[in-house]
Amino acid sequence: MAKLYFSYAAMNAGKSTILLQASHNYHERGMRTLLYTSSLYAEMDKRSITSRIGISAAAELYSRDDDLFEQISIHVENGPLHCIFVDEAQFLTRDQVWQLARVADRLKLPVMCYGLRTDFQGKLFEGSAELLAIADVLREVRTICECGAKATMVIRMDERGNVLTDGDQVAIGRDVYVSLCRRHWEEHTGRWPSAGADSPKFAFSEDDDDEEHDA
């Protein structure tokens, strides 16, 4: 039975690399895949999914108004498909998550979504929230904070290194993002009293060599 998968992580955990490797595995077996990424990345990536280590593959772009079930159904009519891959799945709408669920349930195609769980304010993205609610399989892709602990949160910084706590949820290409553990995210966003009222620069204030390393 085909399933809807959601692999989630903080920034820079290698989600796109894992997606591209999985798609490559299908191609090695003579199978056809269909890749999607958000149209928010169109100007940067030019209709492709690109990983930090330099590998890439052509991809369809989706926007908030697209009916993904209808689009994928048309692709199926034009030839057999074996798996659907969706990068930047946090930008899906709730309706689009259900459309992908229908692809798994009715077209019998596995759908593998990869994306962030939360934004720089610690809030769930719309697409991620719905995927966490209805996906058949949830997988965490782990990365680490600078202290060595597992990173589950992300901060946004301006070009001077100031941690931003307000602004649009989506700000692609304008700011720098750093993945942190929950403890250091609290400290650097000012949610922990010892961080002070001012927006801090990004720098840990203590030695965390004894933290658990969990990559």
Catalytic residues: 88
Structure tokens that stand for 58 in this block: 């052509």
Q: Which two tokens stand for residue 141?
A: 């892709």
Q: What DSSP line would sit under 98-156, residue for residue?
A: HHHHHHHHHS---EEEEEESB-TTSPBPHHHHHHHHH-SEEEEPPEE-TTSSEE-EEEE
Residue 35 and residue 45: Cα distance in Å, rounded? 14
Angle at the Cα of 214 from the Cα atoms of 174 and 159, rounded to 5 degrees? 15
SS3 (DSSP) at 202: coil
Give the separation between CA 132 and CA 103, rounded to whole angstroms. 17
Task: Report the Cα–Cα distance between both ends of the chain, in Å, rounded.
Answer: 31
